Structure 1
């Protein structure tokens, strides 16, 4: 069962990698349009700045999910360095850190749902879209983060057996 879950998360992450690439290109092109129009014409394109900021929100949360799966997230390794923990103690420390991280991410999801609900009726100034659209990146990214943390935990458990 764990192998199927890990495989499914890895497939989801491949799609997420493509999405992050597309979003990065969109952000880059939006910034280029903004710079070119501002410096070479007398026109103003106000939506480009807002679009870049909103795309960055999605890139941060989606990138965090991918980083978690690749074990590229910052974690407390100083305890192992200072106390020279045994492999068993190190594994227990990793499980504790994972549990604390998961609680934090779940709390973030719950809090973000309140923000989305509050901002749903408000419209952004330049793009004229609901503020809920950029804010929905938070729970989506956090759920992806939880899925990847769980995949890592299951994979780590399989390796230690």
Structure 2
């Protein structure tokens, strides 16, 4: 199980770097766009489209990383009052429900990609299937990190049981 967690965390480190690159590109392009519009009076037609597409990927990658660190917004007042095993059960259950939801996003994302495969974006002339690929890619990343959280909760349970036995 530790090998699986190490593998997922390795992928997450790469995703964190990718997140930084995408954010840097987005900030740079938007900064040039604002300067171009204010100083020259001419806007760059593709900059807003690129920023929008990067933001879509940033949201899915960021959500996957936040899920892994259990930093997504959650209502936990019930879980906080519960005992360890109940809290663990609630977290595992919510992650399993999340995995089912991510499966729906994955399937629907593939269907949308198939429908838009002949379309291209207005300014960048990028196939829209590349943009909509964020849905299945994000679903896979979210599922991967939900599984990691479930594994960690299972390991925490084993560690807790070992402490009780001592």
TM-score range, shorter chain: over 0.9
Task: List per-residue Cα deviations over 1:60-99 (Å, max 9, x = no partner).
Answer: 0000111011110122313235xx3222222211121111
Task: State the alpha-carbon separation in 2 of the partners of residues 43 and 158 from structure 1.
Answer: 57
Task: State the alpha-carbon separation in 2 of the partners of residues 38 and 92 from structure 1.
Answer: 54
Aligned to 2:55: 56
Aligned to 1:110: 107
Tell me how far 1:127 sits from its aligned partner: 0.4
Correspondent of 2:146 among 138, 149, 154: 149
Tell me how far 1:151 sits from its aligned partner: 0.9
Correspondent of 1:101 among 98, 102, 106: 98
Tell me how far 1:130 sits from its aligned partner: 0.8
Runs of at least 5 residues in structure 1 that lack an aligned partner in the other structure: none
Q: Does 1:32 align with 2:31?
A: yes
Please, which moves more after superposition, 120-129 or 91-100?
91-100
Aligned to 1:12: 11
Task: State the alpha-carbon separation in 2 of the partners of residues 51 and 62 from structure 1.
Answer: 17
Aligned to 1:72: 71
Aligned 8 A contact 2:85 2:157 in 1: no
Correspondent of 2:116 among 91, 116, 119: 119
Aligned to 2:88: 91
Once superposed, what is the RMSD of the aligned Cα atoms?
1.1
Tell me how far 1:43 sits from its aligned partner: 2.5
Between the two proteins, the alignment pairs up a number of residues equal to 158
Aligned to 2:130: 133
Aligned 8 A contact 2:64 2:142 in 1: yes
